[in-house]
Chains A and B, each alone.
Chain A
Amino acid sequence: MKEQLEKIKSEALARIDASDALEKLNDIRVAYLGKKGELTSVLKSMKDVAPEDRPKVGQMVNDVRAQIEAKLEETKQALAKRAREEQMKREVIDVTLPAKKAVTGHSHPNTIALKEVERIFVGMGYEVVEGPEVEYDVYNFEKLNIPKGHPARDEQDTFYISDTILLRSQTSPVQVRTMETRKPPIRMIAPGRVFRSDEVDATHSPSFHQIEGLVIDKNITLADLKGTLAEFARELFGEDTKVKFRPHHFPFTEPSAEVDVSCFKCGGKGCRFCKGSGWIEILGCGMVHPHVLEMCGIDPEEYSGFAFGVGLERIALLKYEIDDMRLLYENDIRFLKQF
């Protein structure tokens, strides 16, 4: 009996060792441990064993079974591992083959620039508002201290619809509309299309975009305006950007200024980009003229404020180094895809 068991064991183990596939292991399991397997038949012949020897023989059978099972399991794992390894080898790919990209569209560079600007000012507590593009003369000019006959009207060659209605030449009328309808404190920016009768060329377009900014509150100072725009310039053009304020004139602000930022290409040393000056002009601004405040129903003795206007295309052209404004309105997909 014992010899028989030993024989079964060594045979089984040898067969397991010789196995090179998982199916074969299963066959071996069936052949030895299955219902009709060799070990099972040994157990079945237990009735021929003397009762007092039965526990001992039983023990021996169980030992052999355990050893075969252990060997089976061990070999099964080894084979599975080998099979997985082979699979991995088979499945090697060329990782340098082209990517399968989702085809997504692109925002217009103007929009990307606008989102940047909005992000900065919304973070500083400004609300983004809009106003009409076809506008009354009163809002575009008169309430901004530019009465009929004022020379500043000629500086902005305006498209007229009628004597009283025009295509807004600036986003500043939104200032007036905001002041007329809201109580201070006001902090807003107003982006939008504006129109001037400039012929189309590399640096001009009869239709472009501005972003107007307005803050009205008690004790707003020119220093606040400087601080705000310096912060804006650093956020937009980089931490090291310096800002220069030059006195200027706008009819609806007093004092007024034009703002230059240090050239972000050369850092202010002077290069082709900034035409050697180290500075790039980016916007106009000033303290809201007391007369404008009055016309909009805000008491200039109690409140003061500042306003600024930025050309969106100007920022987009500068930031993305676009050399021809016409590209912005052609919508060639090869251009748009670069943003």
Chain B
Amino acid sequence: MNTALSWIKAYVPDLDVTAQEYTDAMTLTGTKVEGFECLDKNLEKIVVGQIVSIERHPDADKLIVCQVDIGKETIQIVTGAPNVKAGDKIPVVLDGGKVAGGHDGGPLPEDGIRIKKGKLRGIDSNGMMCSIEELGSDRNMYPDAPELGIYILPEDTPVGADAIEVLGLHDVVFEYEITSNRVDCYSVLGIAREAAATFNKTFHPPVIEPSGNDEDINDYLKISVEDTSLCKRYCARMVKNIRLAPSPQWMQRRLAASGIRPINNIVDITNYIMEEYGQPMHAFDYDLLAGHEIIVKCAKDGDTFQTLDGQLRKLDHTVLMINDGEKEVGVAGIMGGENSKITDDVKTMVFECATFDGTNIRLSAKKLGLRTDASGKYEKGLDPNIAEEAVNRACQLVEELGAGEVVGGMIDIYPVKAEESRVKFEPQKINRLLGTEIAPETMLEYFKRIDLSYDETASEVVVPTWRQDIHCMADLAEEAARFYGYDKIGTTLPTGEATTGKLSYKLRIEEAAREVAEYCGFSQGMTYSFESPKVYDRLNIPGEDAIRDAIVISNPLGEDFSIMRTLPLNGILTSLATNYNRRNKNVRLYEMANVYLPESLPLTKLPDERLQFTLGFYGDGDFYTMKGVVEEFLDKVGMYKRPHYAAEVKKPFLHPGRQAEIAYEGRCIGYLGEVHPDVLDNYKIGEKAYVAVLDMPSVIPFTSFDRKYTGIAKYPAVTRDLSMVVPKEIPVGEIEEMIEQRGGKILEGYELFDLYEGSQILAGFKSVAYSITFRAQDHTLEEKEVTGVMNKLLNGLKGMGIELRA
């Protein structure tokens, strides 16, 4: 919301502050000033001049030479402006002065434009006559300004006066951020009331004089409200013998400063009231209202209606409409209809000033895709008690501006009157909540400034109807706090029972995972939780696969962000692809984020959010590099047992021969593998990539941060080598499992030290060699102990069809 300071001062005449002081103080009492613009910025030495005479420039067809009276003297100015004539009063910037912009109305330079005297085609020019654009404004604010040329001031303007003052440009326009609870501050009067309270000055709202002729509006018009829940109040007054004309300059400027283009006196008055009171109004052409009747009721499903912007709108039974005796003439609170709009031929009109239900207006505006200034005001929920004052103020302005003849009386349909509310005054509780010691009288004084009165006998604060946000002690506490000053409230730390600061166990495991990943060279990525359903095609997932059953967002930002991911891979692969595309080498990324698995669809309960530790890389390394990272992690979180890797997983996005499921104590905890070349193609990754996914909810039950010292071996180890010829299809993992099973207590470890397939080995076989270490904790091993175990191992090998290498 934008408002000129001069308009605020109209109601708080004693206000005398700089723009910065105003900004700071208002912000600290809760009316946040987002910024301000001084309208006289870069306007220096600009006075009212009068053109005494004009001659043609001897050497230039398009230039003229003017003698301009600026009060103390007459100066010569050369101009190319086509619109001036002798006798015109114009703004003149003198030698050494400044204007805000160029005559083309382009963006204003930060420091303005300095004007110096000089020669134009050999003729002295001692200043410049100004267009409205050069004065930093535009034709919206000054509709009387010519499209091209010098701004002509009214004839009665005193020569030599400060032209900026005359134009009303010694003003500041403030931009406010009003919070949604302060409906009353979406109006100049609301802000003025806050300004008066903030600076402790007297607030002078407009004094509304009775208006209207001896006639009675009821003789002209009949109004009925069918749906009183959606229309709490409907006030109407009428104006006849309308004389459309431009509104006065003061009104035009106030509107323009608020960002509203002046049109004519009647339109401007309705807009002025909307700004001043925050109350939207609508004007109907009385002669276009069939039956001279207004009925407020909801549309019927399937109705269509042409709003005054020419658009055809589809309606349903929830949209509140204004009807005449025959037809719909306006969408209540949002926009009038093409069929009843005010034209230049209007003779008699009806001012509507109603209080429509905020929620209904908001929903209708959304449904119709039509948000207007009016609906924006209604959405917040207006105080019905403003309507009457606002429409009377409008009629007062009609009379003041001579815009027409106001018909006497008002039609006011107001079945349930909004009453003031009351809140118990509990100063001790307020102080206890704030941590302050504000005297009760001081609190009451603050309240009085914003028209909250005090009923001493009942110890209750009486809240006017425009303050719909005050219901309880905490609300009063805020009112007290903001005028006491948030900055004056002390700074303490909570006392009371001590609490333990800690991370949850899950978060500690996540931290360990991150540490391992980063230690292994993986950097942390973050990607979106929602993605495109096309991701499944990219990942080679078959059409009927259950993993495609993802939660669908009903109002997504387009298809690319429309489902909640059920697989974590798209994020990491997309990020790898981004890096690949940017020619980054050896990229290793990980992500720690959820997938969302619905129990059933459509969703009736919250999905299973499963944290996935996803790693991916391309560049240096292979499958076993990734496997190493997985095992580093398992070690780090205390999972010392041997994980089992099963090759037959059939993840369609992984290379069929280079993938494994990772199981721990018989439970699947994740998988890893080389990304399927088709998938690499889909993501446009031009080299092999590897991924691993650990399902953290499956991992966490096996984790532990407990560590126990088991001593350092005192007795020597014995090492034996086993060189064998193994059928190719037997994975070494099976040999290792056999070694672990049969190795007994004295088995300390084993290490694969040679693996060979090739010309010296029979086709279909591979040569595998292990170095096996034995050690006892309590004695030096004897030969026969070792031989005993070795025999068991040899038997085991035999059972697997493996022979020792000759």
Residues of A in contact with B (beta carbons under 8 Å apart): 103-108, 110-111, 118, 121-130, 132-136, 149, 151-152, 154-155, 159-162, 165, 167, 185-187, 193, 195, 197, 199, 206-207, 215, 217-224, 226-228, 230-231, 244-249, 251, 254-258, 287, 289-291, 304, 328-334, 336-337
Residue of B nearest to A250 (CB): B179
Cβ-defined partner of B606 (8 Å) among A134, A193, A195, A291: A134
CB distance from B592 to the nearest CB of A (A): 9
**Contact in complex: A151, B380 (CB < 8 Å):** yes
CB distance from B696 to the nearest CB of A (A): 12
Instruction: Say whether, besides A222-B434, A245-B486, A287-B433, A125 and B499 are in contact (CB < 8 Å).
Output: yes
**Contact in complex: B523, A106 (CB < 8 Å):** yes
**Contact in complex: A254, B478 (CB < 8 Å):** yes
| A336→B526 CA distance, assembly (Å) | 11
Instruction: Say whether, besides A154-B362, A161-B603, A227-B491, A247 and B28 are in contact (CB < 8 Å).
Output: yes
Cβ-defined partner of A167 (8 Å) among B492, B500, B524, B553: B553
**Contact in complex: A199, B557 (CB < 8 Å):** yes
Asked whether any CB of chain A lies closer than 8 Å to the CB of B525, the reply is yes
Cβ-defined partner of B528 (8 Å) among A149, A206, A231: A206
Instruction: Say whether, besides A108-B525, A222-B434, A332-B584, A125 and B579 are in contact (CB < 8 Å).
Output: no
Asked whether any CB of chain A lies closer than 8 Å to the CB of B457, the reply is no
**Contact in complex: B501, A124 (CB < 8 Å):** yes
Asked whether any CB of chain A lies closer than 8 Å to the CB of B259, the reply is no
**Contact in complex: A133, B527 (CB < 8 Å):** no
Cβ-defined partner of A223 (8 Å) among B436, B498, B596: B436
A-B contact pairs, 20 of them (CB 8 A): A128-B504, A128-B507, A133-B609, A134-B596, A151-B358, A154-B379, A186-B499, A206-B528, A223-B489, A226-B490, A226-B491, A226-B492, A247-B486, A248-B30, A249-B182, A255-B477, A304-B432, A331-B526, A333-B579, A336-B525
CB distance from A164 to the nearest CB of B (A): 8
The 9 A-B pairs with the shortest beta carbon distances in the complex, nearest first, are A223-B435, A221-B435, A247-B30, A249-B179, A255-B478, A331-B525, A122-B501, A331-B575, A149-B359
Asked whether any CB of chain A lies closer than 8 Å to the CB of B254, the reply is no
Instruction: Say whether, besides A154-B362, A254-B475, A104 and B518 are in contact (CB < 8 Å).
Output: yes
**Contact in complex: A329, B526 (CB < 8 Å):** yes
Asked whether any CB of chain A lies closer than 8 Å to the CB of B759, the reply is no
- Interface residues in B433-461 by Cβ distance below 8 A to A read 433-436
| A165→B529 CA distance, assembly (Å) | 16
Number of B residues, CB within 8 Å of A:
92
Instruction: Say whether, besides A162-B603, A333-B587, A222 and B481 are in contact (CB < 8 Å).
Output: yes
**Contact in complex: B502, A230 (CB < 8 Å):** no
CB distance from B573 to the nearest CB of A (A): 11
Asked whether any CB of chain A lies closer than 8 Å to the CB of B496, the reply is yes
Please, which residues of chain B bring their CB within 8 A of the CB of A161? 551-554, 564, 603
New A-B pairs, 13, CB < 8 Å, besides A123-B501, A151-B379: A103-B521, A105-B521, A105-B523, A122-B501, A159-B555, A159-B556, A160-B554, A165-B603, A217-B497, A222-B433, A227-B493, A247-B478, A332-B578
**Contact in complex: B522, A105 (CB < 8 Å):** yes
**Contact in complex: B500, A125 (CB < 8 Å):** yes
**Contact in complex: A245, B507 (CB < 8 Å):** no
Residue of B nearest to A191 (CB): B507
**Contact in complex: A104, B435 (CB < 8 Å):** no
Please, which residues of chain A bring their CB within 8 A of the CB of B495? 219
CB distance from A286 to the nearest CB of B (A): 9
Asked whether any CB of chain A lies closer than 8 Å to the CB of B286, the reply is no
